[in-house]
Amino acid sequence: KKFSILGNYDNKIFWPVAILYGCIIAYAIIDPSGAGATFSSIQRFIIAHFSWLILLTGASAIFFSVWMACSSRFATVKLGAADEKPEFSFFAWVAMLFCAALGTGFVIFGAAEPLYHLFTAPTVMDAGSAGAVRGVPEAIRLSVVNWGLFGWPLFAVGGWAIGYAAYRHNKPLRTSTGLYGLLGERCNDTLVSKAVDVLAAIGTIGGVSMMIGLGVASISYAFQILFGIELGATGKFSIMLCFILTYIISTSTGLARGMRYLSESNGYITLGLLFAVLILGATPFTYVINMIMQREWSGSWFIFYILWNISYVPFTGGFIARISRGRTMREFVCGTVLVPLFMTLLWFSVWGSNSCYEQLKGFLPLWETVQGSPEQA
């Protein structure tokens, strides 16, 4: 394997994933509409028959995270040695968490999703508030619950399971390492562990591909409205190639340099965008603040988001484990659950209230626009 382009790899994991996705890509290229119909039917079947299990999984992650953070026995346990210090500052750590899990989705859906709920959510329609000012708080509430309540506890559980075994028992940072509590020293070597790593790769590729696709569509639309340039297939492929090259460069320069600097830059840009919309937007400041304060914790649309987040657990959980060495369980849960929840509340309240306000006041036909392409919001 010295001259292999793949380097050191596991045949039992790589080839099943490569063959499966090769077939999926070939199917999508040969028959795009048929592939879309097939995968949509699979998704509908899963939601129709396993919604209870998906909701139970998400709820269990929430309760488990809270219990571990509040437990006098486990809250002070560290990822690493007892005297080990965190590798990254709190801001760098949180910035990298967001880059791993929510960056593109936040920007695309921050303005679009509240509009979807305002006009189509059952709870809004049942209250007779669809497309009305009084439906905006409910629309933003649903967005906050979908993006902030269920996903991060799942990432926290996955990240801690992988990181604890990796740093306390010298195991590799792989998804199957999270099975250490069940399989012990053989957590990476059994048929079950190989199957877990294969499923982790399949889920990760699917979840990340969706986000990359949304990112390419969003940037393509930005070129159109900012510069009047209509990007074809070659242009969109070039954008995707830039994504890949940026990732390679940032990781090859080391996590403490490339990925950290990239994440911190994105963090400052995100905060800048947030306050720019808050201060410069047409929506009155008091209206936005009211939307932040009017929150309740229930809603719908859970299933799709929980499934999407579950597909991200191997990728995001492993990455969180990598950057969280030296942090206690309480710090870990607060950083990976409470901080993102607060940021989600702030982000969707500011962006969502602005998009709904612009729509309801007739300043911009945002609802008509986002129904076909949410990235245009």
Q: What is the pLDDT of residues 126-172, one digit of tens each?
A: 788 888 988 998 898 888 888 888 788 998 999 999 999 999 999 99
Tell me how far apart the terminal alpha carbons of the chain are, to the nearest angstrom: 48
User: Among candidates 306, 351, 325, 323, which has minimal Cα distance to 152?
Assistant: 306
Q: Any bridge partners for residue 328, and if so which?
A: 78
User: Among candidates 89, 76, 101, 211, which has minimal Cα distance to 154?
Assistant: 101
pLDDT value of position 18: 93
Q: How far apart are CA 165 and CA 172, in angstroms?
A: 8
Q: How far apart are CA 338 and CA 318, in angstroms?
A: 19
pLDDT value of position 296: 46
Chain-centroid distance of CA 377 in Å reads 19
Going by C-beta distance under 8 Å and a sequence separation of 6 or more, which residues neighbour residue 352?
110, 111, 113, 114, 115, 136, 139, 140, 143, 291
Highest mean pLDDT among 128-132, 194-198, 201-205, 228-232: 194-198
**Does residue 292 or residue 186 have the better pLDDT?**
186
DSSP label of 371: T
Mean pLDDT confidence for 98-103: 71
Highest mean pLDDT among 170-174, 204-208, 260-264, 270-274: 170-174
User: Among candidates 207, 175, 172, 169, which has minimal Cα distance to 194?
Assistant: 175
pLDDT value of position 297: 38
pTM: 0.80
> Is 50 exceeded by the pLDDT of residue 72?
yes
Asked if 158 and 314 touch (Cβ cutoff 8 Å), the reply is yes
Amino acid type, 109: F
User: Among candidates 180, 174, 202, 144, which has minimal Cα distance to 17?
Assistant: 202
Q: How far apart are CA 245 and CA 229, in angstroms?
A: 23
Other CB atoms within a 10 A radius of the CB of residue 71 amount to 13
**Does residue 122 or residue 139 have the better pLDDT?**
139
Mean pLDDT confidence for 110-129: 87
Average pLDDT over all residues of the chain:
85
Instruction: Categorize the per-residue pLDDT at 299 as very low, low, confident or very high, splitting at 50, 70 and 90.
Output: very low
Q: What is the pLDDT of residues 337-377, one digit of tens each?
A: 888 888 888 888 888 888 999 999 888 888 988 887 787 77
Q: What is the pLDDT of residues 24-68, one digit of tens each?
A: 999 999 999 999 999 889 888 888 888 888 888 988 999 998 898
Instruction: Categorize the per-residue pLDDT at 2 as very low, low, confident or very high, splitting at 50, 70 and 90.
Output: low
pLDDT value of position 195: 93
pLDDT value of position 301: 64
Q: How many CA atoms lie within 13 A of 97 on its CB side?
A: 27
Going by C-beta distance under 8 Å and a sequence separation of 6 or more, which residues neighbour residue 34?
27
SS3 assignment, position 355: helix
